Each structure stands twice: as structure tokens, then as C-alpha cells.
């Protein structure tokens, strides 16, 4: 089942998928992010040929600060978008829906003036992020109750898979 389109959408369009995939078994409110209502936030949906949302991501302006001990001379002070809530439906995993949502979000962030994008990504997804031009920086850390993470960063916002 191929990706047929991506779009910037209201959070309501992606919320069911975000909750089902990223907060499995947890209360609905755990899938509501404080960034959802922040100025500049946008949500990306990736659709299948039947019009169902199969991939999603949420992007919002947030600098990669020196306070994080992660910003270096190349990234400090750059206009940045962070993303979170990226996922794809289990039945289509590996078919490009997550990647399509990521690429569409990176391009939209660039169109909004971002010079870099970053996320707190699960260590187990490092290969995925690297495939899309991201680099892990800093030390591995744990976000409870989720698995170990790294900060992943890219300045190549128009790039597709490597």
C-alpha cells in the first residue's frame, strides 16, 4: 500500500494514530502534547491510497540550546524546529509512511525558515534517522517510561533518504 500524499493538517487528523501507536495502552490525554497549541506548530499526515492516515509527525519551533550541552558552533543559535510524535501504523511499518511524514515535515520547516531540525529519538530508531541524514549527538538518555534516546539533528532539511 503506497503513500499517496502528505499534508499539513489539524492535530485532530493525526491524533488517533499518535495515541494508538505512541501511547499504546495509556490514557488518551497522554497523547496530548503541550506543543500542540504552540504558535508555529504544524502536524503532518501521510495517507494511503484509501485516504487513511498511516504516518504522522508534529513539528514546532524550538532551538537546540547550548544549555542542553548539545549545541555546537555549527548549530548554536540556528533557527530550529523540533519534532515529536512521529510514527506509522503497525500494519504498514517499513512501507515509507513514517519517512514520508518526516520528509514533508522537514520541507515545511525549511519553508518556515528553519535551518535545522532535531528530535529526541529512540536509540532503537537510530538507523531510521541516519537514513534521513540525521546525526546522534550527546550522550544516550532515558525518557521514562519510554526506552533510551539520543538527540538527533540535521541541517539538511530538503534531503530525502541517504
> What does the block give as the cell for 77?
543559535
Whether 49 is covered by a domain: the verdict is yes
Q: What is the pLDDT of residues 112-145, one digit of tens each?
A: 999 999 999 999 999 999 999 999 998 998 987 6
Listed in sequence order, the DSSP H helices in the chain are 11-22, 97-111, 126-131
Using only the alpha carbons of the chain, give its radius of gyration.
Answer: 15
Q: How many domains does the chain have?
A: 1
Q: If you average pLDDT over every residue of the chain, what do you get?
A: 89
Q: What is the pLDDT of residues 17-71, one digit of tens each?
A: 999 998 888 899 999 999 999 999 999 999 999 999 999 999 999 998 655 445 5
**Residue 100 maps to which CATH number?**
3.40.630.30
Whether 162 is covered by a domain: the verdict is no
Whether 52 is covered by a domain: the verdict is yes
Whether 36 is covered by a domain: the verdict is yes
Q: What is the pTM of this model?
A: 0.90
Whether 161 is covered by a domain: the verdict is no
Name the residue range of residue 64's domain: 5-154
Of 132, 136, 137, residue with least CA distance to 160: 132
Amino acid at each position: 500500500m503506497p503513500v499517496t500524499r502528505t499534508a499539513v493538517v489539524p492535530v485532530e487528523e493525526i491524533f488517533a494514530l499518535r495515541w494508538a501507536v505512541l501511547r499504546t495502552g495509556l490514557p488518551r490525554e497522554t497523547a496530548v502534547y503541550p506543543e500542540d497549541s504552540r504558535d508555529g506548530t504544524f502536524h503532518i499526515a501521510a495517507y494511503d491510497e484509501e485516504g487513511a492516515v498511516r504516518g504522522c509527525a508534529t513539528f514546532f519551533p524550538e532551538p537546540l540550546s547550548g544549555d542542553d550541552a548539545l549545541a555546537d558552533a555549527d548549530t548554536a543559535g540556528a533557527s530550529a524546529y523540533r519534532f515529536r510524535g512521529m510514527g506509522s501504523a503497525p500494519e504498514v511499518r517499513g512501507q515509507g509512511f513514517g519517512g514520508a511524514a518526516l520528509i514533508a515535515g522537514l520541507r515545511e520547516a525549511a519553508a518556515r525558515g528553519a535551518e535545522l531540525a532535531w528530535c529526541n529519538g529512540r536509540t532503537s530508531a537510530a538507523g531510521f534517522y541516519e537514513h534521513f541524514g540525521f546525526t546522534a549527538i550527546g550522550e544516550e538518555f532515558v525518557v521514562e517510561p519510554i526506552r533510551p534516546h539520543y538527540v538527533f539533528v540535521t541541517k539538511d532539511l530538503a534531503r530525502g533518504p541517504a
